[in-house]
Amino acid sequence: MIDLSSSRVLVTGGAGFIGSALVWELNRRGCHNVIIADFLETSEKWRNLVPLRYDDYLEADTLLPALERGDLGRFDLILHMGACSATTERDAAYLVRNNYEYTKSLARHALEKGTRFVYASSAATYGDGTHGMHDTEEDLHVLRPLNMYGYSKQMFDLYAVRREWIDQIVGLKFFNIYGPNEDHKGDMRSLVNKAYSQVMETGRIKLFRSYRPEFVDGGQQRDFLYVKDAVNMALHLATHPTANGIFNIGSGEARTWIELANALFAAMDRTPEIEFIEMPESLRAKYQYFTQADIGRLRGTGYAEPVTSLSNAVSDYVRSYLVSDKRLGDEEGVRRA
């Protein structure tokens, strides 16, 4: 088992949502020898970095050349969370370069240096779920992602299997992750984040209508997972060198959008008021109506922590972060770590 407190760690996408949450949890576990790579650009995600402890930061387009030159030395662990995560991104060439080619280069470097490599895949690779949502490598080729983002993740999953890398690295198929540090994600923010603002402004939440008869409006189901649980699962796999392959990172339970909305209203001490709106035509053919992670493989590695309930997680997110506009790491205990 890897001792994080004495490890040197590279986190790509470390200013982003899940990446910054990983740095926060690394700090909580006594790991401060962290290098962060990201594209800060003009977004506000730099705010996620402010409370965190890390050794250095560099822009992601300088990372691979610096690694090739040996400027950064050797890492014990690479947590590769950096990617374009917009499911609506239509520039396929950009997604191939940024999500696929970059991951190939970083994984090759890690394997050559004997560095533990953990990367973000996505539940978007499962498409409409027709072929199930089981995280077994032998089923990868039958999956049919519904958007180019999902396919860019699928491309590397398949490449890692073909090159027989998958038995030496860890892929994380994140489901619907929500929680603090996602403010900068725009339209890709979770419903909890977007709906909180809606309720504050209008008193109501807008949800998409259903266009399939087996799902009532708001009855579409997703596997929602609090980001604090997601990073605990990720670091469990990262620190267990025999736990290799692709793993679902979810709660293992499908909940409706209405249930999520009601949990938000409860956390805000508001009476539920939901308005159903038309889904844009461009999204209807690419919309996932049901996702649910089979986390048996994760559990099989010895991960025994309970998953935070939807109501408790939404309450913590709203009351500890959204109300006060805090980031992970603003907690007094983390600053003293």
Show which residues are catalytic.
149, 185
Tell me how far apart the alpha carbons of residues 70 and 67 are, in angstroms, rounded to a whole number. 5
Query: Can you say whether residue 122 is alpha, beta or left, with left for phi > 0 and alpha for psi between -120 and 50 degrees?
Result: beta
What DSSP string describes 231-253? Answer: HHHHHHHHT-TT--EEEEES-S-
The angle formed by the CA atoms of residues 101, 292 and 276, to the nearest 5 degrees, is 100
Residue 310 and residue 224 in contact, taking contact as beta carbons nearer than 8 Å: yes
Label the pairing between strands 34-38 and 56-59: parallel
Residue 214's CB: how many other CB atoms inside 10 A? 8
19 closest CA partner among 1, 41, 40, 42:
40
Tell me how far apart the alpha carbons of residues 241 and 181 are, in angstroms, rounded to a whole number. 29
Helix (H) or strand (E) holding 50: none
The one-letter amino acid code at 337 reads A
157 closest CA partner among 115, 206, 122:
122
Residue 87's CB: how many other CB atoms inside 10 A? 19
Contacts of 42 (CB under 8 A, 6+ apart): none
**Which residue's structure tokens are 């947590």?**
79
Residue 89 and residue 148 in contact, taking contact as beta carbons nearer than 8 Å: yes
Burial 302-313 (b: 16+ CB within 10 A, else e): ebeeebbebeeb
Tell me how far apart the alpha carbons of residues 296 and 330 are, in angstroms, rounded to a whole number. 34
What's the token pair of residue 168? Answer: 């030496």
